[in-house]
């Protein structure tokens, strides 16, 4: 079972639980509109695909191509309502993290039957904005400059390819409050980019120059 997800690192499960449903702080709702419908409408296509796959794996009959449709909206709304009812029953705070965890647990139950045992495979794909921010941070650290648009595009493609080839596998056992989970796989996006960028000729030249300047300062010739 595949659940596509957008970003894990050292805290794979926590990251997954916050990735299905993005914050809606920037969404503007016209007066009288359905905020859930507006949120889904404003999602990028790739993010809607992630939501659709998560819903499908949780047992909701929705198309998974990410195209906005009544069936996707109805499934999304139904899942939100079901998760909120569950949170009320357990006396838990309902938020995006709870909803994501609800979908994960439903998918695990579907994967393993009534006992709740099973595996959920997810793939974290960085969105263009977060990938660019991370790439520029590493460029500044390694090269002392921002990446060009061509470099951002090249390293974003490389990062997303590595993410697709290294899915995260969460294994569930037990049920309810006794359920356990273990997460393996995935990549460290920051280390992946550092390894790639630090190996360029420009980064190597900067490193040699840095050693030279440190040496000259030690001799009192700075």
Pair of tokens at residue 50: 């992630």
Burial of 215 (0-12, 13-18, 19+ CB in 10 A): exposed
Closest-CA residue to 51 (of 34, 41, 84, 159): 41
pLDDT, one tens digit per residue, over 139-198 is 888 888 899 999 999 999 999 999 888 887 777 665 555 556 677 778 889 889 988 888
Q: Which of 42-56, 66-80, 149-163, 166-180 has the lowest mean pLDDT?
A: 166-180
pLDDT over 90 for what percent of the chain? Answer: 14
**Per-residue model confidence (pLDDT) at position 85:** 92
Assess whether pLDDT exceeds 70 at residue 35.
Answer: yes
The pLDDT score that the predictor gives to residue 222 is 53
pLDDT in tens, 84-133: 999 899 898 888 888 888 888 887 777 654 444 566 777 778 888 889 99
Handedness of CA 31, 51, 161, 159 (dihedral sign): positive
Half-sphere exposure (CA, 13 Å, Cβ side) for 15? 21
Question: Domain map of the chain by residue range?
Answer: 2-218
Backbone phi, psi, residue 93, to 5°: -75, 130
**Would the pLDDT of 53 be above 50?**
yes
Give the contacts of 180 (CB within 8 A, at least 6 positions apart).
172, 173, 174
């Amino acid at each position: 079972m595949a659940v596509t997800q957008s970003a894990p690192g050292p805290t794979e499960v926590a990251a997954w639980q916050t990735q299905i449903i993005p914050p809606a702080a920037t969404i503007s709702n016209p007066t009288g509109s359905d905020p859930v419908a507006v949120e889904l409408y404003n999602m990028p296509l790739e993010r809607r695909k992630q939501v659709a796959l998560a819903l499908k794996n949780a047992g909701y009959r929705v198309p998974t191509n990410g195209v906005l449709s009544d069936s996707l909206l109805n499934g999304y709304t139904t899942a939100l309502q079901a998760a909120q009812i569950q949170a009320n029953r357990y006396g838990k705070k309902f938020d995006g993290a709870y909803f994501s965890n609800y979908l994960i647990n439903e998918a695990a139950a579907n994967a393993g039957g009534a006992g709740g045992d099973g595996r959920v495979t997810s793939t974290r794909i960085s969105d263009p904005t977060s990938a660019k921010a991370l790439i520029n941070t590493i460029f500044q650290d390694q090269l002392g400059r921002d990446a060009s648009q061509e470099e951002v595009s090249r390293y974003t493609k490389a990062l997303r390819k590595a993410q697709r080839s290294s899915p995260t596998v969460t294994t569930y056992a037990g049920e309810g409050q006794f359920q356990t989970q273990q997460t393996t796989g995935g990549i460290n996006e920051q280390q992946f980019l550092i390894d790639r960028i630090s190996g360029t000729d420009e980064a190597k030249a900067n490193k040699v120059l840095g050693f030279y300047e440190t040496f000259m300062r030690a001799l009192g010739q700075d």
